[in-house]
Structure 1
């Protein structure tokens, strides 16, 4: 069975944009099923799209082709990239969307696509006019080397939300997603951060006054309306409330910075212990 083409966009389902992309794929790659990863990314929320991609990537079969169109710079001279990661292809604009994924797969290769072959592409809808034809070429056996030129990952756009910032006994992280239940997903992978917090009883949020956070493994273990920290199913640490919205309680939104206070095992010491 041909590998699927997986769509991740901020287009929603009210407008015809997703349907038009699927129509192009049905015409150019009729044997490749088009699967929806998500079209509910908040408009232009590149960080949220990066999280969705990174959390979902390995749940799709090898040779899958991901089309990731959260692209505030559409029509400008920003590059369109094709990465070969863990035997899968990912197409995305060069706006940071790929960086969390590429940081976890150091053996990935990346190419800047040649856009001159697409003629009269709309200046505002590259998802339909460029990304879909590129995906169809890959589905038909084309390679990134035939469609573009190699580019070093160090040359790619790297936003400041990619990595948390450690200082003394604090770590400043970013809210990368708030799910339907109001759980606040931080850009802290559960491994290694869950293991690096050595005194969970002293984990606090740096507010006035600081809020204590209880480590928990399930929602039900938390007393009602008590703030907790959990290793979520998507592989990241989440701030949660049992039966309520942690986001509303903390008054935070996508992109907000949160500072955790605790005693962290230094990164170098953690690496040595786990060699």
Structure 2
């Protein structure tokens, strides 16, 4: 199952040497590993956004990939270090809800409390488990170590409330869950949520004070500088501005947590 591939997702940023230290640990244990950076720009402590990114990304990697993720505001506290086996992938990081979006959607996921210190660094900093626990564990897993040697299986992983779209009367209501590098506002409304209702009805999309009267296919469907809604490459509804930054231009009315309302063309108007 092991591929030697390890992805890394953190909120460490790119200014400090923390990510490089983790990579050094990984390469010391498994010099043949292949390391892929997903992102190190998760907003500090944003467990929900980090979990969304990991869930969105992991499926594009081969089965057997190890996904190391450190968004860990409770580092050194009572939260457990864990490994998760789900969908033929391995996930390593803190038990703080980071992996819950994957666990709850994978019927046969298994969670292991990483308690065998033989697979950790000898000295453990209470403020850097990413380097001293998670990186060495991920590296051992990338070499094919049986994950069940790393600790005991548990059935009570930490959950985190993940916002889901819901019906309100005849409307579909979701929210903005992430802002990407381009300022596009990514929602929790997916193509699958929308597809039963789109044809031949059409939709209007309301977010903040903005109302869009159609669902676009590409950014260039509207003039430069104009807002639009479309299904992005991750199959989620996005609010964007053609050649612009929706987060900056739409302001505080459109941010993470802002409600997004989909009204279908045959719905009664208020």
TM-score (norm 1): 0.84
Contact 1:50/1:97, CA 8 A, preserved across alignment: yes
Alpha-carbon offset, residue 232 of structure 1: 0.5
Select the structure that is richer in helix: 1
Q: Which residue of 1 aligns with 2:150?
A: 147
SS of corresponding position for 2:19: helix
Q: 2:123 aligns with which of 102, 110, 120?
A: 120
Query: Is 1:211 aligned to 2:211, yes or no?
Result: yes
Q: 1:201 aligns with which of 193, 200, 203?
A: 203
- Alpha-carbon distance in 1 for matches of 2:150, 2:134: 12
Q: How does 1:111-260 map to 2 (within 5 A)?
A: 111-114=112-115, 116-117=117-118, 118=120, 120-152=123-155, 155-190=156-191, 192-198=192-198, 199-205=201-207, 207=208, 211-252=211-252, 255-260=256-261
> Relative to 1, partners in 2 of residues 1:57 and 1:70: Cα closer, same or farther, differing over 3 Å?
same
Match of 2:11 in 1: 10
How many residue pairs get matched? 260
User: Matches of 1:182 and 1:213 in 2, distance apart?
Assistant: 21
Note if contact 2:27-2:139 (Cα within 8 Å) is conserved in structure 1. no
CA RMSD of aligned residues (A): 2.5
**1: distance between equivalents of 2:167 and 2:157?**
23
Please, which runs of 5 or more residues in structure 2 have no aligned partner?
A: none
In structure 2, C-alpha distance between the alignment counterparts of 1:238 and 1:225, rounded to whole Å: 16
CA distance in 2, matches of 1:135, 1:264: 50
Q: How far is 1:193 from its partner?
A: 1.6
* Partner SS, residue 128 of structure 1: helix
- Where structure 1 has 5 or more consecutive residues not aligned to the other structure, the ranges are 266-275
2:46 maps to what in 1?
A: 45
Q: Work out whether residues 113 and 152 of structure 2, in 8 Å CA contact, stay in contact via their aligned partners in 1.
A: yes
Structure 1 segments of 4+ aligned residues over 6 angstroms from their partners = none
What is the CA-CA distance between 1:172 and the residue it aligns to? 4.0
**What residue number does 1:271 align with?**
none
Contact 1:4 1:35 in 2 (8 A): yes
Provide the C-alpha distance between the structure 2 equivalents of 1:241 and 1:158, rounded to a whole number of angstroms.
34
Distance 2:220 2:195 in 1: 22
Equivalent-residue separation in structure 2 for 1:231 and 1:200 (angstroms): 14
How far does residue 262 in structure 1 lie from its aligned partner after superposition? Answer: 1.4
Listed one character per residue, the Cα deviations across residues 189-246 of structure 1 (whole Å, up to 9, x for unaligned) are: 22x12214444333333x46x6234201111112444432211012211111222222
